[in-house]
Amino acid sequence: METVGSEYMGNGRCRFTVWAPEKKTMALHLVHPREREIAMECAEWGYFTAELEDASPDIRYYYKPEGEEGFPDPASHCQPEGVHGPSEVVDHGAYTWRDSNWKNIPMQDLVLYELHVGTFTPEGTFEAIIPRLDALKETGINAIELMPVAAFPGSRNWGYDGVFPYAVQASYGGPTGLKKLVDACHAKGIAVYLDVVYNHLGPEGNYFEKFGPYFTEKYGTPWGKAINYDGAYSDGVREYFANNTLYWLEYYHIDGLRLDAIHAIFDQSAVSFWELLQNKIQALTEQMGRSFYLIAESDLNNPRVVQQTEVGGYGFNAQWLDDFHHALYVLLDKEGIKFYEDFGKTEQFAKAVTEGFVHSGEYVKFRKKTFGTSSAAIPGNHFVAFAQNHDIVGNRPEGERLSVLVDFGKLKIAAAAVLLSSYIPMLFMGEEYGEETPFLYFVSHSDKGLIKAVQEGRKKEFADYKVNGALTDPQDEETFQRSKLEWGKRNQGKHQKLLKWHQTLIQLRRNHAVLQNFDKAAINAQTLEQDGLIFIRQNHDGSEHLICLFNFSEKDLSYTLPNTKTHWSMLLNSKEVQWLHEQEEEFTAAAQMAAGQVLTIPPLSVLVYQSQT
């Protein structure tokens, strides 16, 4: 199979390849630096090619299928004039990498940090992130996960409306900006993950059907036609998306991808897309000597997602664990039951902590059917746990973060629940210091009909929710500006305390042997009615234990320590004076406790004790 797109080979040589299996002719239309048109040759499998001997990396071009008007390259590496403009050739060899000694961070050691490039800094660029890497590293963050950067309409978008999966958004800094960020991250020991979308393409600037059968009506998705992974001519589609994964590793040194909503990728082929993808990744990582990881967003509650392709799995290294968030959030915010009607019991959070999926075959009201299967046998390092992410915040009517929904004590509980779990933790940008600006849904389309459809769609989505004032307009630039972080807060008052709380938890997670054990069999959980949760974790040989005690209620709770020969010493107390804010009352927990003693857990608190033999 051919690699699509433009490939600048140096010394003026450039090869152009486009897949259009049902077209009889194709022309390469160069528009910069001088205009000319070149007939392309038709090769096997429906690929058209052309080679230039007098090219330069700044060449801009369109393709003309069967004499039609020019369209951008579906595999464009850069769209400097926007999604409707010409594609630009990129000389990837021109960038000098400095990360030759970088070998990636083992997945189980990650502390992920999801961020949106446009709202993370006032400038909204890749390079503007670099000065803030030291602060993230000091907090304990060792991996950033960028929301999609594939070229999208305008300059404001979450990224899930991208229409050029190979092109880096120009307003963020384009290809060079992303490479500089990755290089800077690696120099500081920070891995870079990228969110990619292989289940749909955005509506504006989507010219794919001008070239070939990239889509199918055989399946449906929330965004329209499904991508054609198993129908007629699907070989070219599968190669296009599988090679996109390799592209990010080879040309941008990305350490891993998070794949959006894989449950909307449909494939009944004898050799699945996932198997094809894993084979390609294995070949390239062996060649480059670097590890590379895939994280799935999946709505299936099916452990097959993280099982090997050899046994019928999808081969992902990890997947987001939505059930963990849902079970935790409804315990922290009673209003959460409006969003997650099937949650709200402490035993559900206990199940999320000890097994993973809460819905593992039970009847689920939201789905109106029995749903899911058990993930108890899957080690914890195959799941990513979080208290917030872009979807959870941004898909609320007013983009409210947890910091404006619950009080300070509950924010500390949320952080501890995630960071003391046996899962890979992920924070959403600003969460570590309790950012209070909203993260709203925003777009910058140019198609008036599409703008109206988006506006009306948001109104319909939140018709049943009470909103303070008018619903924010996604197209309004002010919506985007309101979503930018106020970074200076992290060093002030309660924000600084919450930041240090996160830093302390991350250090504990990194340094304590018990928290390095991802075997779910080494975790026991006990509920205290509907008010609290106790979970006990142990190290690999069972010689060390941690007891993590959570009180979600406004009253004191009592817990009798396990009746063993072990003594217990306090590691962490969220009610110590250094962690308190405003109305919180200090609680002095016993520094040492004997087995069988009764321990008091103060309201809205977290206590952590370690075993002493």
- CATH class of the domain whose range is 107-505: alpha beta
CA gap 118, 155 in Å, rounded: 8
Q: Residue 468: its pLDDT value, please?
A: 67
Asked if the domains at 107-505 and 520-612 fall in one CATH topology, the answer is: no
Domain residue extents for the chain = 5-91, 107-505, 520-612
The CATH code of domain 5-91 reads 2.60.40.10
394 is in an annotated binding site: yes
Digit-coded pLDDT (tens) for 223-277: 989 999 999 999 999 999 999 999 999 999 999 999 999 999 999 999 999 999 9
259 carries a ligand binding annotation: yes
Q: Which helix (H) or strand (E) holds 409?
A: helix 408-419
- Distance between CA atoms of 264 and 217, rounded to whole angstroms? 13
* Active site (catalytic) residues: 260, 297
pLDDT of residue 3: 83
H-helix or E-strand spanning residue 435: none
Known binding residue 263? Answer is yes
- Cβ pair 282, 201 in contact under 8 A: no
φ, ψ (nearest 5 deg) of residue 181: -65, -45
Whether the upstream peptide bond of residue 33 has omega within 30° of 0, thus cis, is yes
H or E element in which residue 564 lies: none
407 is an annotated ligand-binding site residue: no
* 3-class secondary structure, 403: helix
The residue among 420, 419, 439, 421 whose CA lies nearest residue 429 is 439
β-sheet bridge partners, residue 550: 533, 606
Alpha-carbon distance 600 to 590, whole Å? 9
Q: What is the pLDDT of residue 613?
A: 74
Report the C-alpha gap between 98 and 465 in whole angstroms.
51
134 is known to lie in a ligand binding site: no
pLDDT of residue 2: 64
> What's the rounded Cα separation, in Å, for the pair 88 and 382?
39
Write down the architecture of domain 520-612 according to CATH: Sandwich (2.60)
| Alpha carbon distance 76, 265 (integer Å) | 23
Among residues 31, 68, 145, the alpha carbon closest in space to that of 391 is found at 145
Q: How far apart are CA 158 and CA 479, in angstroms?
A: 12
**262 among the known binding-site residues?**
yes
3-state SS track over 357-392:
CCCCCEEECCCCEEECCCCCCCCHHHEEEECCCHHH
- 157 labelled ligand-binding: no
Per-residue model confidence (pLDDT) at position 449 = 93
Widest CA span in the chain: 85
393 is in an annotated binding site: yes
Low-confidence ranges of the chain (pLDDT < 50): 1
